[in-house]
Amino acid sequence: MKISQKIQSQSFRQLQSTIETNQSFDQIVQSKTKQLKQQEIQHLMDEITIQGEKLARFRSLQDLVKFKRLVKGFLEKTVYNGLGLKKSHQFNFGGQGQRLAIVEKIDKKLVEITEEIMNQEKKTVDLLGMIGEIKGLLINVYM
């Protein structure tokens, strides 16, 4: 009887240490994955910044298209793929969540920038302000 109890306690300890090892491995993998995703998002934000400055300087349709594509890519990485973002449980009176409202604001600002580029009459300062607003909204989506 004592031998079987001893064997059971040893196998239980081994099983327990295996579970702890697996948990720590999972935690390491999750930590590294989160770190890589944050680096990727930071890289996208840097590209958006550079392209936004280029768009404000040259005001070309090509730069606008590239800027929109970068913003879309950023939103896909953060919102649609859900890269560990904090979930917002705030709802407005229409029942829509806060995250949706921010994405709609970004869309509106992109439309405004498109109109600005097409008109070619607004000052660069206004354009830089709108680009800054979009970057701020993107940061809000990520935070």
For the stretch 27-70, pLDDT in tens is 877 888 888 888 888 899 999 999 999 988 888 889 999 999 99
Output the CA–CA distances (angstroms, integers) from residue 108 to 20, 36, 103, 133, in the order listed: 49, 30, 9, 11
* Number of compact structural domains in the chain: 1
Structural domain contains residue 8 = no
Q: Cα separation of 43 and 58, whole Å?
A: 23
Structural domain contains residue 47 = yes
Instruction: Judge whether 88 and 99 are in contact, CB under 8 Å.
Output: yes
Structural domain contains residue 29 = no
> Is the pTM for the entire model greater than 0.75?
no
Structural domain contains residue 72 = yes
pLDDT tens digits for 18-38? 666 666 777 877 888 888 888
